[in-house]
Amino acid sequence: MASTADQLSSTRKETSPARRSSPTGTRATRLLGVAVIAGMTWLLVFGLVISPADVVQQDSVRIMYVHVPSAWLAYLAFIVTAIASALYLWKRTRSLAWDRIAGASAEIGVLFMAITLVTGSLWGSVTWGTYWVWDARLTTTAFLFVTYVGYLAVRRLGGSHDARARRSAVLALLAVLEIPLVHFSVVLWRPLHQEASVANPTGDVEMDGLMLFSLFVGIIAFTLLYAWLLLHQQRVLAMEDAIDDRGLDLALAERVKEGM
């Protein structure tokens, strides 16, 4: 009994310091996290304090500094999901790492598409007097959101990792075709939703230079946030796969090694 206790004690002495000294993050992700905090702080100051109110929409225009970057981020995330899915399906680059990147990116995209819908509804309640109208932009955006919620549900179906990756990849390549439909819906059907005021500067909506700068600050900050979330979420998915394949202890050990 004494020898067994001594062995357990020595094992704790060997493993405990290693676990304490080996972070799960990396220097790159920590630096990226600092950049995200700085960008979000910058956006908060410019969006709420420095940027002027709109002549027509007044202070409700500040919702745009979250609404537009969130929509951009959702588009970016879904496009990355499609690209990673295509790379998995291509035999020369087939790897479950691409599938995990696709899944992680889709999760982030669904989150920010939800934020897009919520902030759009808040803006609509002020501008249109109602939280929701069934116009082309809102309807296609909601359909895109539901499609990727379905994509995440498909990823949770049973089967091997490769089976999950194959069926998810096919669905992702089909779902991404909805993005052009959503983006150009304001041109095709002329709904209540205004046209793009950045990509189409000659349109009906003009933006003050400081408002435009604040919007670009938001896009940069949200893009950095996307990169940070993607790095961490694909690691979480890698751990889940490792747990399925080799058990919890080996998954934790692999995760700790990644941060060394």
Domains and CATH numbers, the chain: 28-195+203-258 (1.20.120)
**DSSP code for 1:** -
Distance CA 113, CA 97 (A): 24
Task: Write down the pLDDT at residue 86.
Answer: 96
Distance CA 213, CA 216 (A): 5
Distance CA 33, CA 39 (A): 10
Residue 34, helix vs strand vs coil: helix
C-beta separation of 227 from 59 below 8 A: no
Low-confidence stretches of the chain (pLDDT beneath 70): 1-25, 52-60, 186-208, 247-252, 254-255, 258-260
- The per-residue pLDDT for range 99-134, each reduced to its tens digit, is 999 999 999 999 999 999 999 888 877 777 777 778
Task: Write down the pLDDT at residue 116.
Answer: 92
Task: Write down the pLDDT at residue 120.
Answer: 86
The single-letter code of the amino acid at 118 is V
Residues whose CB falls within 8 Å of the CB of residue 68, separated by 6 or more in sequence, listed in order: 198, 215, 218, 219
Task: Write down the pLDDT at residue 145.
Answer: 94
Task: Write down the pLDDT at residue 106.
Answer: 96
E strand or H helix at 221, and its extent? helix 209-246
- What is the Cβ-side half-sphere exposure of residue 163, based on CA atoms within 13 angstroms? 6
Q: What's the whole-model pTM score?
A: 0.78
Distance CA 259, CA 255 (A): 7
Q: Please, is 46 exposed, middle or buried when counting C-beta atoms within 10 Å of its C-beta (0-12, 13-18, 19+)? A: buried
